[in-house]
Amino acid sequence: MRAVALMTVVLVVSGVGSGPSLVGESSGGASGSPGHTVVTQIPLSGVDDVAARELSGVPVVESGPTAEPSIASTARTSTPPLEPEALSAAPEAAGPTVAAEAAPGAEPQPDVLTGEVTTPAFSVLGFTWDSGTDDASIRYRVRESGEWSGWQEIAAGDATADGASPEASARPGTDPVVVKNGDGIQVWADSPSGTISGLRASVVDPGVFASDAAGSVAAASVSAPGQPSVVTRAGWGADESLRTCEPDYSAAMRAVAVHHTASANGYSAEEVPALIRGFYAYHVQSRGWCDIGYNFLVDRFGRIFEGRAGGMTSTVVGVHTGGFNSRTIGIAAIGDYSATPVPAALTDALVSLIAWKAAIHHIVAGDQVTMVSGGGASVYPEGAVVSFPTIYGHRDAQSTACPGQYLYDLLPTIRARVAQVANASIAAAPTGVWEGLSVTSTALSVSGWVLDPGSTAPLGVDVRLDGAVTTVAANLARSDVGSAYPAAGSEHGFAATFAVGPGRHVVCIEPRRLDGSGIILLGCKVVSVVNRAPIGAVDVLKVVGTTLTVAGWTLDPDSDESTSVHVYIGSRGVVVPADLPRPDVAAAYGRGANHGFALTTTVAEGNPTVCVYAIDSAGGAPTTLRCSELRVGSPPVGVIESVGVSGSTVLVSGWAFDPDTAGPTSVHVYVDGVGVAVLADGARADVGAAYGRDSRVGFAASRSVSVGRHTVCVYAINLAGPPHALLGCRDVTR
């Protein structure tokens, strides 16, 4: 029975249109879907029996009436033999060795061995697996343009996040591999110390974009000293919707880390944008990183490409040198320079790119820099103090052969050339300090000083806030700076305040050189503006008759100033300043003394809902301090004391009053539905004494009636409006 490796497929499509799916037969076609990038994740597990027998020399017998047994032409162990060139191309790979004369079946089975798997067309390939296996070794072969390659070996990638980074929890995996017109794979994987689980092959079709043709990728040029042309992310077709988090920033950059991508060198110029899209998709969709790992990439033709998003002149933290990502600029040469010399165009591009960035960040070529390891996959444990050249190779910080021996051997020459281009301008660059950064719920403020040591003239300072640039003059008096630099004078301070809303903000300080030739960078910082909700309490909420009293206090934790409350009585709102003295609140919260409020108003009788809202000074959502339904007013009270007939007249008398008013109220007397109004203002000392109020509450009324039966009803009138009180109804006969 033939055991087939478990294989399911998840398609992750970026851009527009629908991506390819797994095909049943090899098409032999080239990758290149128009206008979008497709990442196909292929989970792999188990051991394919046929593949295992082929690798161990056991005859392969296909079932069926016409099938004939076939025997492998050479005896092999269950470990696939590597192609000779693979050993020189990836000397750092750590995997199982091939036995010289192993008996058939002598090798133990690997964790994973697939048969020949047909895939969607792809040009970038990588492998990831579940955390917990540090020594995974993977051998693979690919079908390129219809032909199967020899077996190649690849180990875990050496680009990792720092230990404390959110990206440190991403899946372990290999670096991406460049493939020509791939549409099939076969994979062998094993771990000498354990078992590989969750193995996935990621095949990436980066798509074909109109801008991929040689010479058509758009280069963006920024006015800065010595900046080369750089192909922007838009230029190489980055799908920004793939990025899973916002860029992180270092306070400053202190060194440059040089890498290679350890992939094929024979790519054409028009293939490069697609390759970078493939790296990007693999890093995000398969490794689980936020973005492509490198800050910049350089191809063999000398073209420079923007890598990780967040600003080419800023301090974006990449994923390229575990333990030292947050203070270094990661630049990757596209290709494998372990056994291949570095093209002159690539070297020239590295020099111009590093010199430009060094001038911005005050990185002196040829110097040493001391940094503290952030842990992760670095050979230096977290907290270790390490000294590197300011331009160093990836292998200086991690156990890896990157950036390849040829490129690593070239680093002294690159340092010397960068020093020749940039060091003099760095020595003469402006100097300064970014001293202050403060935020409130509505504003962000920066301050510091900067000067040109050779001039008294003030410099301009670009404050880059969330990508928007505002230039301020560094011309404020700073006697301390003047004392330290007497030849430059004292007017070199800067300060600026910007309106901001709640949320995350990135601010960079970029003083301009006096001759306007470019910027330097004092640093970048990320701040979070949190608008805290107002607080307070309603101490008094009462109604006496129709008089409503509301009182209490409120304050905004983000401000010392008095605020206000909105009091809603039903749908009617009243703005009430919270500026009355409340020393108890001031003592408890240390936010000034005037935060009390009070409101007295007349309200209609009934059952209104009264709500009190504390207002946020920054325009945020108000805080509900209290909402209560109230009973406003009392109905009139009274008594019909007598109803009688005298001759042709009906006589009615009694007393009535409205508890909500001090004076007399009215009484309506209805005889057979026809009413007359009388004032209940007759003296009734007994009622006044009983209810403790004005005694003018008596009433009397008379009406002429015809012979017969009549109905008399009496209502005490509510002076605030309905409902009125029915005192009663009586029947009389004339």
Over 60: is that where the pLDDT of 655 sits? yes
pLDDT confidence of residue 509: 95
Q: At 6, is the secondary structure helix, strand, or coil?
A: strand
pLDDT of residue 251: 87
Question: Do 609 and 567 touch, CB atoms closer than 8 A?
Answer: no
Cis peptide before 80 (omega within 30 of 0): no
Order across the sheet with 468-473: list the strands. Answer: 468-473, 460-465, 503-511, 523-529
Secondary structure (3-state) at 421: helix
User: For 342-367, b where at least 16 C-beta lie within 10 A, e where not — what string?
Assistant: bbeebbebbbbbbbbbbbbbbbbbee
Sheet holding 391-393, edge to edge: 219-220, 230-231, 304-306, 296-298, 328-333, 255-260, 391-393
So what's the pLDDT on residue 711? 95
What sign does the dihedral 417-423-426-428 (CA atoms) show? negative
407 — pLDDT class (breaks 50, 70, 90): very high
SS3 of 160-173: CCCCCCHHHHCCCE
Token pair listed for 352 = 């111009």
Q: Give the pTM.
A: 0.65
pLDDT at residue 96, as a whole number: 32
Mean pLDDT, all residues of the chain? 83
Instruction: Out of 23-27, 207-211, 259-263, give the one with best mean pLDDT.
Output: 259-263
Q: Are 366 and 415 in contact (CB under 8 A)?
A: yes
Write out the two tokens for 36: 């979008």
pLDDT reported for residue 305: 97
Between 442 and 622, where is the model more confident? 622
pLDDT class for 341, splitting at 50, 70, 90?
very high
* pLDDT tens, residue by residue, 346-384: 999 999 999 999 999 999 999 999 988 887 777 888 888
Flag whether pLDDT at 64 surpasses 60: no
Which of these ranges, 94-103, 319-328, 375-384, 395-404, has the smallest mean pLDDT?
A: 94-103
Q: Give the separation between CA 338 and CA 400, rounded to whole angstroms.
A: 11
pLDDT above 60 for 231: yes
Question: Contact at 8 Å (CB) between 631 and 543?
Answer: yes
What is residue 52's predicted lDDT score, i.e. its pLDDT?
85
How many percent of the chain have pLDDT more than 70?
A: 85
E strand or H helix at 104: none
More confident residue, 620 or 339: 339
DSSP, residue by residue, 568-587:
EETTEEEEEEE-EE-HHHHH
> Residues 6 or more apart from 489 whose CB is under 8 A from it?
456, 482
% of the chain with per-residue pLDDT over 90: 52
Over 60: is that where the pLDDT of 683 sits? yes
Q: What is the pLDDT of residue 626?
A: 94
Beta-carbon-side half-sphere exposure of residue 329 (alpha carbons within 13 Å): 29
Q: How far apart are CA 507 and CA 447, in angstroms?
A: 12
Identify the pLDDT of residue 563. Answer: 94
Residue in the block written with tokens 């199967």: 148
pLDDT of 323 above 70? yes
Which tokens hold the place of 595?
Answer: 């935060």
Say if CB 644 and CB 703 are below 8 A apart.
no
Pick from 67-81, 90-104, 385-399: least confident: 90-104
Angle at 524 between CA 518 and CA 530, to 5 degrees: 140
Enumerate the β-bridge partners of residue 712.
671, 730
pLDDT category of residue 673 using cuts at 50, 70 and 90: very high
Span of 70-84, 159-173, 360-374, 657-671 with lowest mean pLDDT: 70-84
pLDDT in the model for residue 83: 56
Q: What distance in Å separates the CA atoms of residue 120 and residue 196, rounded to the nearest whole number? A: 24
**For position 78, what pLDDT does the model report?**
61
Cα separation, 490 vs 133, in Å, equals 60
- Report the candidate in 707, 668, 362 with the shortest Cα–Cα distance to residue 518: 362
Between CA 375 and CA 623 the distance in angstroms is 44
Q: Are strands 503-511 and 10-15 parallel, antiparallel or unpaired?
A: unpaired
* pLDDT top residue among 167 and 286: 286
- Between CA 656 and CA 280 the distance in angstroms is 87
Is the omega angle on the peptide bond into residue 20 within 30 degrees of 0, that is, cis? no
Q: What domains are there in the chain, each with its CATH number?
A: 10-205 (no CATH), 211-427 (3.40.80.10), 439-519 (2.60.40), 535-629 (2.60.40.10), 637-733 (2.60.40.650)
Check if the beta carbon of residue 305 is closer than 8 Å to that of residue 298: yes
Identify each DSSP E strand in 635-691 by its residue range: 637-646, 649-657, 665-671, 674-680, 682-683
